[in-house]
Amino acid sequence: MSSSDRPQPKPGVMEISAYVPGRETAEGVAKVHKLSSNETPLGPSPKAIEAMQAVTNHLELYPDGAANALRDAIAEIHGLNPANILCSNGSDELLGLLAHVYLGAGDEAIFTEHGFLVYRIQTLANGATPIVVKEKDARADVDAILAAVTERTKIVFLANPNNPTGTYLPVDEVRRLQTGLPPHVLLVIDAAYAEYVRRNDYEAGVELVSSCQNVVMTRTFSKIYGLAALRIGWMYGPAHVVDAINRVRGPFNVNAMAIAAGAAAIRDREYLAKAVAFNDEWLNWLTKEFEQIGLEVTPSVGNFLLIHFPETDGKGAAAADAFLASRGFVLRRVTAYGFPNALRMSVGTEEANRGVVAALREFMNG
């Protein structure tokens, strides 16, 4: 039977390499520290768990399709108009919806060479052409992005900070990017790690969205809020974009437990402050320790680090990954992101952080 005798996916779909999530297990190890998906070691706010549990008494009810309680909480905390907020089943869903609404055959979407893999997947899924732009020092290069724009460009995806590099563009650079884009190009600022950033020249995107018609910012509860399992994302965007997405999204795309937990989580500011302080302390500590061991680390403002390994035989990223896994530390290979000789490590518990440093010291000296 030839393949033309059976249903065919749309053009683009079979060019996609399916997303491979971070590993969860290591063979033959009693205790595994999963440091491969940028999850928080602190878990969610107890208030979020409590709010979620209250909902389990009424699982027969559809959730509020507009997720009003969640949008109101986000609006209150961030000082935004709830009408410009749209919630989703993880921010991954939003990236897909944006691509679905704005990209079609013949269109182009621009992202950078070490950008988040979901941008490529969603571009191809909608029959559009991915345009991959070089970075400079593992950071998005505004001039290179602008030089790649054509009349076919419909979306520019920018993760700020970026995963897996942990680098960021200062607000001036993001503004320069927006200013240089033609008005028909949508700039999607994916700020999944915004809460972690402690830099005066960083802005997640609120200011740009408020003043422009072609910028949206996407956010998530999966990272600092520790609610990855519930799948909660949100977008802040101009009314016309919110309206377009509302027409195509699933009518109940955010589940009731997510709405309740998300609203409680974002209001627990004390919990957030603790999570930021914890991450800051260990991110700095890990960076210094790895450098002392002689490993190069890309400066990160997120909750993860990109660790580069020497080219020397037996000391590369694959060997390091295997060595760490044998000790129960599961990191992320980032070959698919253009870093065949690096590993990405999420900031973990104190035990995990100290354990990885000790293991890598042994690995490098072995």
Ligand X SMILES: *Cc1c(COP(=O)(O)O)cnc(C)c1O
Contacting positions for ligand X (CB under 6 A): 38, 90-92, 116, 159, 163, 190, 192, 220, 222-223, 228, 233
Beta carbon of residue 122, minimum distance to ligand X (angstroms, whole number):
11
Question: Which of 135, 190 has the CB closer to ligand X?
Answer: 190
Its sign, for the CA torsion 34, 36, 42, 43, is negative
Beta carbon of residue 22, minimum distance to ligand X (angstroms, whole number):
10
Check if the beta carbon of residue 263 is closer than 8 Å to that of residue 236: no
Q: Which residues are CB-contacts of 227 (< 8 A; sequence separation ≥ 6)? A: 44, 48, 221, 258, 261, 262, 265
**3 state SS of 329:** strand
Question: Which of 155, 357 has the CB closer to ligand X?
Answer: 155
Beta carbon of residue 168, minimum distance to ligand X (angstroms, whole number):
12
Beta carbon of residue 234, minimum distance to ligand X (angstroms, whole number):
9
Give the pairing type, strands 329-330 and 304-308. unpaired
Beta carbon of residue 292, minimum distance to ligand X (angstroms, whole number):
28
Beta carbon of residue 232, minimum distance to ligand X (angstroms, whole number):
7
Q: Which residues are CB-contacts of 215 (< 8 A; sequence separation ≥ 6)? A: 178, 186, 187, 189, 205, 208, 209, 237, 238
- Is residue 333 within a helix (H) or strand (E), and if so which, with residue range? strand 332-334
Question: Which of 154, 231 has the CB closer to ligand X?
Answer: 231
Question: Which of 89, 153 has the CB closer to ligand X?
Answer: 89
Residue 259 token pair = 């709405």
Question: Which of 63, 90 has the CB closer to ligand X?
Answer: 90
Beta carbon of residue 23, minimum distance to ligand X (angstroms, whole number):
16
DSSP 352: H
Q: Please state the φ and ψ torsions of residue 58, each to the nearest 5 degrees.
A: -135, 55
Which residue is at the shortest CB distance from ligand X? 90
**What is the Cα–Cα distance from 178 to 241, expressed in whole angstroms?**
16
Question: Which of 237, 355 has the CB closer to ligand X?
Answer: 237
Question: Which of 66, 228 has the CB closer to ligand X?
Answer: 228
Which of 45, 22, 51 has the alpha carbon at shortest distance from 221? 45
